[in-house]
Amino acid sequence: MANYKGEDPVLVTRDAKSKVHTFLNMCRHRGNRICRADAGNAPSFMCTYHGWTFATDGKLVGVPGYKEAYFEELDRSQWGLVEARTETYKGLIFANWDPKAPSLIDYLGDYTYWMDMTFDRVAGGTEARGGVWRFAAPANWKFGSDNFGGDNYHTYITHGAGRFLNRAAGGVDNGFNDDPSRVNVSTKHGHQANNAWIGSVVNTRLQTMRPLEMKQYYQDTYAESEKRLGAERAKQITIGPATTFPNMSWTNNMVRVWHPRGPMHTEVWHWCIVDKIMPEHLKKMTVTTLVQGFGPSGNTEQDDGNNFVACTEIGRSPLGARQVVNQPAGLGHEFKSENVPGILSPRIGEGNQRSFYARWQEMMNAPSWDRITIEPRRFSLL
Ligand code: FES
Ligand code: FE
C-alpha cells in the first residue's frame, strides 16, 4: 500500500516470506511512483513509465530492453528500492530511514504501558475499519499532534457545543473541577496520553458508557482485559487522546497520522480502529459515530480545525511571527508515581505541550541520534 513518511512517499509491502517492508515509493530509473493503491495484493510492482519491475522484497526483477538497450551491462542488484528499517508493534507498522536510530521497542519505551490499553486490551488486538480518511488543512502538523497529546484545556471552549448537548442529554459536566485523579502523561521520547486515572481508580467510564450495547461489550470483555492489563488499567476502559511522538495520534477508536506538507499545511490520514473480536454491528456503529465526530466534516473535527489554521496563519504576520506564545499552565505541578510510567501532570494543563515542544526542539538541534538523550529535557522541576 502507498502511504507517506513525512513528505516522503512510501510503499509498504509484505513479501513472500511474510516480512513487512517499507520502501521509498520511487522507481529507481527516473523516479516515478511505482504504487498508487491504498491497499491490495500484487506479486510485483511495474513502473508505468518504462516498465521497470520490482518484487515485493524491493529487488529490481524486470528491466525492459535489458539486452537491447542496456547490453546486459546494468547491475540490477544495485537498483532495488530504497528501504527503511521496518518494525511492528501490536499490528502498527513503524519505519525509520536511519539505521542508527534506536529500535522501535526502545523508542516506545515504557509508553507501551499506555498504548496497550488500546492496542492490546483483548485477544487479537485491533483492526482498521472503513478505509483511510484523508483531508488537508492549511495548518502546521504540530498543532494536531500537540492537541491530541495533551490539550484538555481547549475542550471547554472549542467543543462547547458538544459539551452543551451532553449536559442537555443529562450528562454530568464538572468543567474544570473534573476528577483530580485524572492526569496527563508524558513519557520518554516525548510520547503522550491524556486522561489516565491514577490512585483509586473510579470506573466511571464504564458506568456512563452509552449506548448500552457498547457498555455491554466492554462489560463482557472486562475480565479478559483485566487479565491482560491488570486491574489498574482495565478499570480505566480507555485512555486518550494520545500522541506517539511525533505525529501519530490515537484513541480507543482511531489512529491518525499528521503528515506535514510544508510548514503551512497538513494532510491527515485517519483510520477508525475497533477490537477485532467486537461484534460486527458494534464495529459499524463505531465507524458511524466516529465519522460524525472526527470525519472531515465531523462536528469535533471542524471545531478544532479552524483554531489550528488560525494559529498557523499568524506565522505569516511579520509582527505576529516575532511574538512569544505561552504554555505555563500547570508548570511546577508535574509529579511522578511509583505505580505508572511517565511524568504526570494536571489534565487541564500544558505539561504535555511543554514536553512535546521541548522534545521537538531537542531533536531539531541534534546532529545525530547519539546526541539525543533518552529523557527529554523538561521545562519543570523534575
Ligand atoms: Fe520507472 Fe522509467 S521511471 S521505468
Ligand atoms: Fe479538540
- State the average pLDDT for the chain: 91
User: pLDDT-derived band of residue 202, with 50, 70 and 90 as boundaries?
Assistant: low
pTM: 0.93
Which SS3 state, helix, strand or coil, does residue 267 take? strand
Tell me which ligand sits closest to the C-alpha of residue 294.
2
139 in the same domain as 76 = no
Residues within 6 Å of ligand 1 by CB: 27, 29-30, 32, 47, 49-52
> What pLDDT, in 10s, does the model give residues 23-60?
999 999 999 999 999 899 999 999 999 999 999 999 99
> Are the beta carbons of 53 and 47 closer than 8 angstroms?
yes
Q: Pick from 116, 134, 113: which is nearest to 125 by CA?
A: 116
129 in the same domain as 74 = no
Print the domain residue range for 292: 109-371
- Determine the atom of ligand 1 nearest the C-alpha atom of 28: 1
pLDDT recorded at residue 257? 97
Q: 186-211: buried (b, 16+ CB within 10 Å) or exposed (e) per residue?
A: bbbbbbbbbbbbbeebeeebeeebee
163 in the same domain as 48 = no
Distance 33 CA to ligand 1 centre (A): 9
The three cell numbers of residue 105 are 521497542
Q: Please indicate, yes or no, if residue 96 is contained in any of the structural domains.
A: no
Cα distance between residue 363 and residue 358, in whole Å: 9
Residue with the larger pLDDT of the pair 202 and 114: 114
Pocket residue to mutate for ligand 1, from 27, 46, 70, 76, most atoms within 8 A of Cβ: 27
Does the pLDDT value for residue 118 go beyond 80? yes
Residue 178: give its domain's CATH number.
3.90.380.10
User: pLDDT-derived band of residue 381, with 50, 70 and 90 as boundaries?
Assistant: very low
123 in the same domain as 74 = no
Cα distance between residue 191 and residue 108, in whole Å: 8
Which SS3 state, helix, strand or coil, does residue 365 take? helix
Cα 128–134–137 angle (5° rounding)? 140
- Determine the atom of ligand 1 nearest the C-alpha atom of 27: 1
Q: Please indicate, yes or no, if residue 227 is contained in any of the structural domains.
A: yes
Cα distance between residue 308 and residue 141, in whole Å: 9
pLDDT recorded at residue 233? 92
Q: Please indicate, yes or no, if residue 221 is contained in any of the structural domains.
A: yes
118 in the same domain as 61 = no
- Could you say which DSSP state residue 188 is in? G
User: pLDDT-derived band of residue 382, with 50, 70 and 90 as boundaries?
Assistant: very low
Pocket residue to mutate for ligand 1, from 24, 46, 52, 74, most atoms within 8 A of Cβ: 52
- Determine the atom of ligand 1 nearest the C-alpha atom of 64: 4
249 in the same domain as 148 = yes
74 in the same domain as 25 = yes
Pocket residue to mutate for ligand 1, from 11, 24, 29, most atoms within 8 A of Cβ: 29
Q: Please indicate, yes or no, if residue 382 is contained in any of the structural domains.
A: no
133 in the same domain as 67 = no
Q: Pick from 308, 361, 356, 261: which is nearest to 143 by CA?
A: 308
- Determine the atom of ligand 1 nearest the C-alpha atom of 50: 4
134 in the same domain as 72 = no
Tell me which ligand sits closest to the C-alpha of residue 162.
2
- Could you say which DSSP state residue 335 is in? B
> Are the beta carbons of 25 and 33 closer than 8 angstroms?
yes
347 in the same domain as 245 = yes
Q: Please indicate, yes or no, if residue 97 is contained in any of the structural domains.
A: no
Tell me which ligand sits closest to the C-alpha of residue 299.
2
Least confident interval from 17-26, 95-104, 364-373: 364-373
The three cell numbers of residue 346 are 494536571
Indicate the number of domains in the chain. Answer: 2
Q: Please indicate, yes or no, if residue 292 is contained in any of the structural domains.
A: yes
54 in the same domain as 162 = no
Cα distance between residue 245 and residue 257, in whole Å: 11
Tell me which ligand sits closest to the C-alpha of residue 251.
2
> What pLDDT, in 10s, does the model give residues 250-266?
999 999 999 999 999 99
Q: Please indicate, yes or no, if residue 20 is contained in any of the structural domains.
A: yes
Q: Please indicate, yes or no, if residue 380 is contained in any of the structural domains.
A: no
Does the pLDDT value for residue 267 go beyond 60? yes
Atom 4 in ligand 1: which residue has the minimum CA distance? 50
Residue 54: give its domain's CATH number.
2.102.10.10
115 in the same domain as 42 = no
The three cell numbers of residue 220 are 463482557
Residue with the larger pLDDT of the pair 62 and 306: 62
Distance 74 CA to ligand 2 centre (A): 54
Does the pLDDT value for residue 165 go beyond 90? no
